[in-house]
């Protein structure tokens, strides 16, 4: 009995332990794999290759930023996800790093080597051949073929550009300015070093061409080209019938160009000249519009009229809605045509709509029982009809038009009336009788 009681007590004591045992997760292995960490090494040395103690190290990946410092041996150790793409920036008072180091797809064997140099400042002064300072000249410093963001900018009013916080060393400098040829030189930057650069002015020829962008063969079109340098107006030229005009402009300058022509949409663009002659072609298009025409200006009420819809290039517009009043009554076909039934008397307004464009025309509708206006082709007077009552018959004859010299084969009649004709016959008979008596 005592043995059975002992076993029962042991079972009761072990029961809570069994119920508290963890349950295995089906995603545990995936979570571990996706968040696996590796340790990368950042090794920092100075210009002489000696380790840098106490340098500030910043490691960035994705949206995460980690910060630490180097030990006496110039190394720092940072845990990051395996396969991450990291950026490493290092700073220390009195030393400079022109560009952070970037490493892709890191693993536990990754070592990022960073070399710091004594900090220095470069001053670049840009002048004309006459010694005048050039404001706004563009300056770009490079070391070991790398363009540095901190060493790129423009000269101030005194013609000088200052780049501070640079690594000490050998630099090349590219300088250019609006209206001046660019130049490249080099100098050594130690602590605080200056360099004076002289730029030569120059111009280039630019051939402007204006074409109608609607046509695939790029047809020339006469247009006006406005040229601006910033807010300053430079020139206003016409390309003429040939659609071409050559203009002399300053080298290495960015211009604003506006191309305009009546009936066309304006084209706005920028043009940057280089140091050689160039061509600039601008395509402009007619201002979008609709035209609506009807085959007849008058129509009998209840009958139809055909309408045609064309665009700004006089090309048919298909799918345009045709309305009479507020009611859509038809839609144009591929030929831009539609047939409209006119159901009311008077002036009827027909409207065509395509997108945001619309056009109207008016036809006159007359009822079937009304007198329709007669269109007269000439102003020749209408010939009037007259009736003559001959003595021998009651047949009416219609007088013809005035004699135009063409007798149509009928002998002309002398200017005697019927009585004079009878008198002539009588006189002839009397003369014949007299001859017989004699």
Q: What is the pLDDT along the chain (438 residues), one digit of tens a residue?
A: 444 444 444 444 444 433 333 333 333 333 334 569 999 999 999 999 999 999 999 999 999 999 999 999 999 999 999 999 999 999 999 998 888 999 999 998 999 999 999 999 999 999 999 999 999 999 999 988 777 766 889 999 999 999 999 999 999 999 999 999 999 999 999 889 999 999 999 999 999 999 999 999 999 999 999 999 999 999 999 999 999 999 999 999 999 999 999 999 999 999 999 999 999 999 999 999 999 999 999 999 999 999 999 999 999 999 999 999 889 999 999 999 999 999 999 999 999 999 999 999 999 999 887 655 443 333 333 333 333 344 433 433 343 444 444 444 433 444 444 545 455 545 555 555 555 554
* Type and span of the H or E element at 106: none
Say how far apart CA 102 and CA 85 lie, in whole Å: 8
List the structure tokens of 62. Answer: 């994705």
Q: What pLDDT score does 98 carry?
A: 87
What letter does residue 176 receive in the DSSP assignment? E
Q: Are strands 244-250 and 203-212 parallel, antiparallel or unpaired?
A: antiparallel
φ and ψ at residue 381, rounded to 5 degrees: -60, 150
Contact indicator for 57, 90 with CB cutoff of 8 Å: yes
**Where exactly are the structural domains of the chain?**
36-115, 118-198, 203-284, 290-366
List the structure tokens of 376. Answer: 């007269």
End-to-end Cα spacing for the chain: 207
The string over 353-384, giving b where at least 16 C-beta atoms fall within 10 Å of a residue's C-beta and e elsewhere, is bbeeeebebebebbeeeeeeeeeeeeeeeeee
| Burial class of residue 298, CB neighbours in 10 A (0-12, 13-18, 19+) | middle
φ and ψ at residue 394, rounded to 5 degrees: -110, 25
Contact indicator for 116, 92 with CB cutoff of 8 Å: yes
Say how far apart CA 164 and CA 116 lie, in whole Å: 15
What number of helices (H) and strands (E) belong to the chain? 3, 31
Domain 118-198 has CATH 2.60.40.10: yes
Which CATH architecture best describes the domain 290-366?
Sandwich (2.60)
Q: What pLDDT score does 427 carry?
A: 57
Say how far apart CA 38 and CA 41 lie, in whole Å: 10
pTM exceeding the 0.95 threshold for the entire prediction: no
Domain 36-115 has CATH 2.10.60.10: no
Place of tokens 């001046």: 180
Q: What pLDDT score does 426 carry?
A: 54
Q: What pLDDT score does 400 carry?
A: 42
CATH topology of domain 203-284: Immunoglobulin-like (2.60.40)
Nearest to 52 by CA among 67, 71, 69, 74: 74
Q: What pLDDT score does 381 carry?
A: 38
φ and ψ at residue 314, rounded to 5 degrees: 60, 30
């Amino acid at each position: 009995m005592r043995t059975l009681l002992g076993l029962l007590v042991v079972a009761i004591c072990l029961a809570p332990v069994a119920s508290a045992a963890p349950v295995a997760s089906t995603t545990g292995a995936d979570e571990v794999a996706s968040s696996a960490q590796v340790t990368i090494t950042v090794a920092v040395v100075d210009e002489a290759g000696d380790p840098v103690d106490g340098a500030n190290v910043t490691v960035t990946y994705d949206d995460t930023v980690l910060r630490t410092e180097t030990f006496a041996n110039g190394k720092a150790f940072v845990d990051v996800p395996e396969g991450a793409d990291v950026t490493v920036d290092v700073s220390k008072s009195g030393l400079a790093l022109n560009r952070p180091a970037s490493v892709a797809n890191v693993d536990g064997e990754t070592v990022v080597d960073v070399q710091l140099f004594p900090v220095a400042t470069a001053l670049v002064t840009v002048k004309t051949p006459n010694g005048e300072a050039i404001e706004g000249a563009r300056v770009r410093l490079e070391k070991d073929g790398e363009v540095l963001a901190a060493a790129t900018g423009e000269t101030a009013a005194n013609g000088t550009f200052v780049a501070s916080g640079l690594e000490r060393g050998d630099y090349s400098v590219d300088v250019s300015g609006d209206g001046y040829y660019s130049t490249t030189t080099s100098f050594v930057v130690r602590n605080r070093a200056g360099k004076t650069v002289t730029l030569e002015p120059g111009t280039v020829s630019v051939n402007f061409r204006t074409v109608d962008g609607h046509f695939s063969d790029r047809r020339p079109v006469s247009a006006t080209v406005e040229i601006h340098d910033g807010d300053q107006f430079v020139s206003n030229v016409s390309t003429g019938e040939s659609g071409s005009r050559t203009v002399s402009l300053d080298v290495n300058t960015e211009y604003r160009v506006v191309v305009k022509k009546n009936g066309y949409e304006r084209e706005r663009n920028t043009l940057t000249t280089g140091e050689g002659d160039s061509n600039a072609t601008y395509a402009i298009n007619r201002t979008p519009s609709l035209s609506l025409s009807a085959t007849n200006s008058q129509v009998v009420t209840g009958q139809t009229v055909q309408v045609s819809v064309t665009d700004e290039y006089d090309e048919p517009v298909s799918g345009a809605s045709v309305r009479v009043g507020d009611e859509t009554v038809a839609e144009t076909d591929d030929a831009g045509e539609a047939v409209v039934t006119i159901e009311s008397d008077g002036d009827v307004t027909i409207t065509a709509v395509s997108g945001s464009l619309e056009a109207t025309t008016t036809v006159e509708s007359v009822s079937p029982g009304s007198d329709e206006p007669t269109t007269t082709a000439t102003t020749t007077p209408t010939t009037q009809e007259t009736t003559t009552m001959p003595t021998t018959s009651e047949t009416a004859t219609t007088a013809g038009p005035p004699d135009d010299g063409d007798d149509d084969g009928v002998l002309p009649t002398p200017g005697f009336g019927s009585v004079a004709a009878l008198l002539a016959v009588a006189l002839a008979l009397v003369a014949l009788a007299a001859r017989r008596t004699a």
